[in-house]
Amino acid sequence: MSNPVTSPVVTGVSTSGLKDSAIMIFGASGDLTARKLIPALFMLQKKEFLPPNVPIIGVARREKTDDSFRAEMKIALSKNIKGGITEAEWETFSKRLFYVASNLEEGADFGPLRDSVEKIERQQGVGVTRVIYMATDPKLFLSAVDALGKADMIPSAESPRKLRIVFEKPFGRDLNSSRLLSQSLSKQLREDQIYRIDHYLGKETVQNILLFRCGNSIFEPLLNRNHVDHVQITVAESQGIEAGRGGYYDKSGALRDVLQNHVLQLLCLIAMEPPARFEADAIRDEKLKVLKAFSTGGRPISEWAIPGQYVASEINGKPAPGYLQEERIAPDSNRETYVAMKVLIDNWRWAGVPFYLRTGKRFPERVSEIAIQFKHPPMHLFSTVECEGDMCQFVSAQSNSLVFRIQPNEAILLSVSTKRPGMQYQIHPVTMNFQFEDAFGGELPEAYERLLLDVLRGDSTLFTRSDELEEAWKFVTPVLEYWESQTIRPEPYAAGSWGPDKADQLLGSTGRSWRKPTSAEMHKKH
């Protein structure tokens, strides 16, 4: 691959207004703040995207001083910033860190919080835009927003002040709870004040999907029913249940936790029509059209949606527990740790093209990708090549594939067929392998860096709109209700395998098969 041009074309929203912003983190004592948010904000400062006067105000129930909060965040940075931080970097960053103790439960009085925040804003010389990150349990979303309203901390549409509130998933547990949450939030907030974050959309490869499609005229005309055989989207995790998350996961499962949000968003980006403009609402309008066009072909749920649950096995010679042996998991749990689906999109571009989706835990590899499998050439042209005896080594040309590798080692791969050098006419598949880190040098920014910067800019392109969220839940909720009301037992699969046998039948009946992507293929030299 050739090196990138030295004078890139830059698009996006100006950062000139950031110097008038303040950042508040509700739930500042939690793991998300220490592991993701504070490191992301530190990196924005290091890359000179965050003006020096912008304060970061941690808010949580526990009583602590500014200095004790700063000490905790210094430890967090030392653990989560590769290569560590210098004293000079910390000295600059620590000056923007503040802490205010406040109850976030129902009935909380945010009057004292408002007064403390306004004092910090005056001290720092900011006061136009407030960004609030809700790094809390979702059950606190409504009570915190209600308290903001009562404390007169939600500006009207006519006010020169701006408020943007970032909400972490889950956004409800099903269609009804999601609707109720959206309706309740809309009583206090406008849609342009709500940023529903999906960190997958901040990854470089995901952001590159639209640019790759619409910025390269040779590819976009191929992404349709005339040329594409099928699409596979995989979001695979190699670990089981992380310590302390068993209670949460057993109530959620793979369908709610990953497929309803991450996987469906990836599907929308690869299947949507090119937007009329590269603007937030134009892009989200096209994603919504894809969600509305979802179809299951009129088949029963059991034929196109397969739940799975990993069972005890060995991984690399070491015993791995099954899901039912994990900490805080009910011994008779029917919760799925794996989901595979076959989805159709009933529109002109994709009619008849199956989209195969899968996500789960205890896969052989941690890997996320979108793989577009193109159709075979219309005829075996090379079978007519003249040859004699041992010279007849013809092998049928494989179909081409285009893969967007999201993690690990973000990359774009294109497979093609070539002739192997020599006297025999042998067809050999090769892969053109473009890796972002190799091409552009240095480490890629973390997803939270990009998404937090977008919130500060007021760019909602990579955030989920309420109507998108509702359509996604409309598709997923009947599956959840069927599995839970019928007490469907998930298909067993060995820890460290690619999933249950029944999931293979989604593709096997048509002669297709699941990809088995590995991190090793990223390092092959072709």
**Contact status, residue 382 vs residue 425, Cβ threshold 8 Å:** yes
Q: Is 92 helix (H, G, I), strand (E, B) or coil?
A: helix
Q: Is 437 helix (H, G, I), strand (E, B) or coil?
A: helix
**Contact status, residue 427 vs residue 419, Cβ threshold 8 Å:** yes
Query: If you average pLDDT over residues 345-358, what whole number do you get?
Result: 97
Query: If you average pLDDT over residues 447-457, what whole number do you get?
Result: 93
- Residue 9 is predicted with a pLDDT of 40
Q: Closest Cα to residue 93, out of 146, 131, 39?
A: 39
Task: Please give the residue that has the higher pLDDT: either 432 or 483.
Answer: 483
Residue 82 CB: number of other CB atoms within 10 A? 6
- Taking only the tens place, the pLDDT of each residue in 42-81 is 999 999 999 999 999 999 999 999 999 999 999 999 999 9
**Contact status, residue 374 vs residue 401, Cβ threshold 8 Å:** yes
- Residue 521 is predicted with a pLDDT of 58
CA separation for the pair 233, 242 (Å, rounded): 24
Name the DSSP class of 234: E
Encoding tokens for residue 510? 């048509």
Helices (H) and strands (E) in the chain, counts: 16, 18
Amino acid found at 352: G
**Contact status, residue 166 vs residue 189, Cβ threshold 8 Å:** no
Query: If you average pLDDT over residues 445-458, what whole number do you get?
Result: 91
Any residues with CB less than 8 A from the CB of 509 and at least 6 apart, and which? none
**202-523 belongs to which CATH class?**
alpha beta
**In the chain, what are the domain boundaries?**
16-168, 202-523
Q: Report the percent of the chain where pLDDT is more than 90.
A: 69
Stated as kind and residue range, the H or E segment containing 25 is strand 21-26
* Threshold 0.85, pTM exceeds: yes
Q: Please measure the distance between the N-terminal and C-terminal CA atoms of the chain and give it in whole angstroms.
A: 11
**Contact status, residue 359 vs residue 366, Cβ threshold 8 Å:** no
What angle is formed at CA 461 by the lines to CA 459 and CA 464, rounded to 5 degrees?
115
- Residue 244 is predicted with a pLDDT of 74
- Residue 382 is predicted with a pLDDT of 59
CA separation for the pair 436, 234 (Å, rounded): 20
**Contact status, residue 240 vs residue 495, Cβ threshold 8 Å:** yes
From 75-79, 263-267, 446-450, the region with the lowest mean pLDDT: 446-450
Q: Given the DSSP bridges, would you call strands 162-167 and 194-196 parallel, antiparallel or unpaired? A: parallel
- Taking only the tens place, the pLDDT of each residue in 203-212 is 888 888 888 8
Encoding tokens for residue 57? 């105000």
pLDDT greater than 70 at residue 519: no
Residue 219 CB: number of other CB atoms within 10 A? 14
From 2-11, 428-437, 501-510, the region with the lowest mean pLDDT: 2-11
Task: Please give the residue that has the higher pLDDT: either 59 or 376.
Answer: 59
Query: If you average pLDDT over residues 514-526, what whole number do you get?
Result: 65
**Contact status, residue 242 vs residue 322, Cβ threshold 8 Å:** no
- Can you give the length of the chain in residues? 526
Q: CA Rg, the chain, in Å?
A: 25
Binned at pLDDT 50, 70 and 90, residue 502 comes out as very high
Catalytic center residues: 262
- Residue 380 is predicted with a pLDDT of 63
Whole-number average pLDDT of the chain: 88
What proportions of the chain, in percent to the nearest 5, are helix, strand and coil?
40, 20, 40
**Phi, psi (rounded to 5 degrees) for 500:** -70, 155
- Residue 390 is predicted with a pLDDT of 53
**Phi, psi (rounded to 5 degrees) for 329:** -110, 130
Binned at pLDDT 50, 70 and 90, residue 6 comes out as very low
CA separation for the pair 265, 10 (Å, rounded): 25
Query: If you average pLDDT over residues 230-259, what whole number do you get?
Result: 91
**Contact status, residue 286 vs residue 273, Cβ threshold 8 Å:** yes
pLDDT greater than 60 at residue 386: no
CA separation for the pair 60, 63 (Å, rounded): 8
**16-168 belongs to which CATH class?**
alpha beta
Any residues with CB less than 8 A from the CB of 148 and at least 6 apart, and which? 110, 132, 154, 188
Strand-pairing partners, residue 371, are 232, 403
- Residue 5 is predicted with a pLDDT of 40
